[in-house]
Structures are given as C-alpha cells and as structure tokens.
Amino acid sequence: MLTTEQLDELLAAAPSPRYRALWSLQRWSAARITETLALTWGDVAAGHVTYRKATTKTKATKQIRCTDRLQAALDDYRQAWAEEHGHAPAAGEVLFPASGSTHTPMSRQAADKALRSTAKRLGFEGVSTHSFRRSFATGALKRGASLPAVQRVTGHQSLSGLTPYIEVDEVDVMAALAGA
C-alpha cells in the first residue's frame, strides 16, 4: 500500500504523460491494470471513465467520475497522445497503445516494468500495478468512506472480496477500541 504522499510522488516522477495518466486512472478509479489498459478514448468522456463490462473481471460496467487531478492528467495526456500519433485520438483508439499501434493496448508487463522502475528510483518497495487498488481501498476507509462506497469504486462483488485489500495497522485498531 502507498500513502497519499507516496502516490503524489510517484505521479510527479512518472516518466511521461502516458504513465502519469495510467497511474492517475488506477489511483482514482481503483481499477485493475488490464481494465485500465483496455480503455479507449470513447470510454473517457464528459468527465467520466467507463470501464465496460466486456473488459472487467466482474463482467459489470463501472463508471467513475473524474476528479480534477485525474481530468488534468487525461487532458495533458490527450495532447501528448495526439503529438505522438499525429492526430487527435478517435473514440475507438486505445488510451495506452502498444508501440506502433493506436488500436492494440500496451502489455501488462510494459506497464508494470515502468511502474517498478519508477518506484525503485523513489525507494518504494513492493510496488506493483495492484498497489493502486489496495492504496485506494485503505486510504478511502481511513478518510471516512463507507465500505459500500469503497466497494462501489473498486467493483468488488462482495465485502469479503474487498476485505483483503484493506490494510489495518495498530493505530487503526487503537482508534476502533477508543470508540468502543
């Protein structure tokens, strides 16, 4: 799990607008890497990100409203994408294409390699593309979000599926005991 400060540091150190947008999407939508890599530009519109049921593990469509920071990262990336590919992105083109393509997504391995390299440079250990989901779930609960609200964002079908994502430390236990 990464703290808010570590997530901010990671985004600031992203090697390009592509990875800043990818990691921003994962950070603020708690999406799996495969779901995020499957996004097209048509899925990112009108201030929302739509994860289509055909691309989600749970086979359920999930829509997330863009935070200001997520929207800014996507706007910056849209410009960089257009410069790289020589045209504005069309709705059917993937957000994060493999090299030499606009319709085939980059691989999970390529996304993971960039993340681990950046995390290592920052001195963060144990970071993977799944860290964003864990960090979102734990952070949202610590900020006072309800379990059902977190479950809605992560897309877990049950609370028992969500629970392993939540890290609890001694401070959390003592806070719970203090309220008893």
Q: Which pLDDT tens digit goes with each residue over 15-64?
A: 999 999 999 999 998 888 999 999 999 999 999 999 998 887 778 788 88
Torsion of CA 153, 159, 161, 164, to 10 degrees: 90
Superfamily of domain 4-178: Intergrase catalytic core (1.10.443.10)
pTM for this one? Answer: 0.82
Highest mean pLDDT among 2-6, 129-133, 149-153: 2-6
Between 32 and 157, residue with greater pLDDT: 32
Averaged pLDDT, 155-165: 66
> What are the sequence ranges of the domains in the chain?
4-178
Closest CA to 128 of 40, 9, 10, 8: 10
